[in-house]
Structure 1
């Protein structure tokens, strides 16, 4: 199993949208992919056609059942999602404390998945300071951090540097994506240049500001399914291929791998 953890230094940067569309594109590349939601907003599911009225998820069950795989929902033959689900504040608090203080909690929850050959797990976490992100750090093969193409996001770079996410021995698996770039905006162009100079090889791609992204989410589709010819779809495809390279994998032929739930049962 390969694990990609996605988080952000502040809200509203498109983290969940990127996680969902990256998972979808990786599945189109021929990999078996599970998108798992560690964010209590429980919004990752909406990108996979799961209705708002559907409250199922794994967090409310995780305190009683060590294996989280029974709560996986199939999206397509090789794309799956594990929603956060609805739970009360007390359950959420206990879940987060277990993530922080019990090193076996996360390992047991993902154990059946970790033994699944050829699986890529895309984990959507809340923030860089969240219990889930901290717990996943030890397991993640790479960590993706989206930044908006604006001056406010650039002010986050000193914080990221202080906390070891930039050009640091422990930062070798930390990579950045610049979101909502606009080639017609002088400010965005200045931000892009600054980000490229500051982040260097840790900046693995950008996603253009594209109305198709919002329309795709409203239609409960990936950007690729909604408009394959859009700029954002091309950006997601390029980032996906870069992630595959960083993980040391080869792009598949598009052939569907074995069913994830069946492989867990074996």
Structure 2
């Protein structure tokens, strides 16, 4: 099993959309794939056209000491989904307290799923430092930092680098991390210039950029993934390239969670 944490220091960077489409790209290759929503917004299920939002999910299963598999949702494609769940504020607070008290909860629970050795788990996290991010970074074999090509995203880099150093880089089972510049628009000079500077700074840790493409919101509005909605679109090509890069990273990297 390989675990990939999708992280960002600020919101609005397209992280959840990327997580959903990445999970689908992995599943399309035949790999057993599970997407887990660690964000209280519970938005990941909307991308998978899963059943109507309800309390079933990660929080309810954990607080009731139920197997997580009982709350997996079928998504219409090969990628399985464990939603966060639409829960009361008291349940959210109780769950976050459990995360703080049990720093290995996510890691141990994922091991308990006994997924196939070639399985890929995608962790969608809320933006910024939190108990969710700490758990995800402590459990993952690889991390993808999602950014926009703007000054606000660039300013968050030191924070993410500090968190990666603390929770990831000293672990023998951690392969590597990479940066994804999302929604690149070459028709806007500043956007294009910042994207170029970021890619030069990140070097080998820079994933293929995902360009701004109307196919992405159109696919979501049509309850489809980009690769299904418009397989010839720029976004579909970009997402395919990123998934291939990440698979190579996990294969070459030193660690394994299984």
Judge conservation of contact 2:8–2:128 (CA < 8 Å) in 1: yes
Determine the structure 1 residue equivalent to 2:101.
Answer: 101
- 1:11 partner SS: coil
RMSD of the alignment, in Å?
2.2
Deviations 1:85-120, CA, capped at 9 Å, x for gaps: 111111111211211221353244323324433211
Quote the residue 1:185 is aligned against.
188
Distance in 1 (CA, whole Å) between partners of 2:119 and 2:18 is 19
Runs of 4+ with >4 A deviation: 51-55, 161-165, 168-172
Structure 1 counterpart of 2:234: 231
Cα 1:164–1:144, aligned 2, differ >3 Å: closer, same or farther?
closer
Matches within 5 A, 1:103-142: 103-142=103-142
| Counterpart secondary structure, 1:73 | coil
In the TM superposition, what is the alpha-carbon distance from 1:66 to its structure 2 partner? 4.8
Normalised by the length of structure 2, the TM-score is 0.88
Kept in 2, the 8 Å contact 1:67–1:111? The answer is no
CA contact (8 A) 2:24 2:77 kept: no
Stretch moving more, 188-197 or 233-242: 188-197
The answer to whether 1:221 aligns with 2:224 is: yes
Residues matched between the structures, number: 248
Counterpart in 2 of 1:174? 177
- C-alpha distance in structure 2 between counterparts of 1:5 and 1:100, whole Å: 18
C-alpha deviation, 1:27, in angstroms = 0.6
Change (3 A) 1:150 1:60: same
For residues 115 and 154 of structure 1, what CA distance do their matches in structure 2 show?
A: 36
Give the structure-1-normalised TM-score. 0.85
Q: Is the 8 A contact 1:37 1:123 kept in 2?
A: yes
Offset of residue 201 of structure 1: 1.6
| Alignment check: 8 A CA contact 2:50 2:73 kept | no
- For 1:103, what is the secondary structure of its paired residue? coil
Compare 198-207 and 238-247 and name the one that shifted more.
198-207
* SS in structure 1 at match of 2:50: coil
Residue equivalent to 1:256: none
> Which residue number in structure 1 is paired with residue 246 of structure 2?
243
Partner of 1:159: 159
Q: Name which of 194, 197, 202 aligns with 1:194.
A: 197
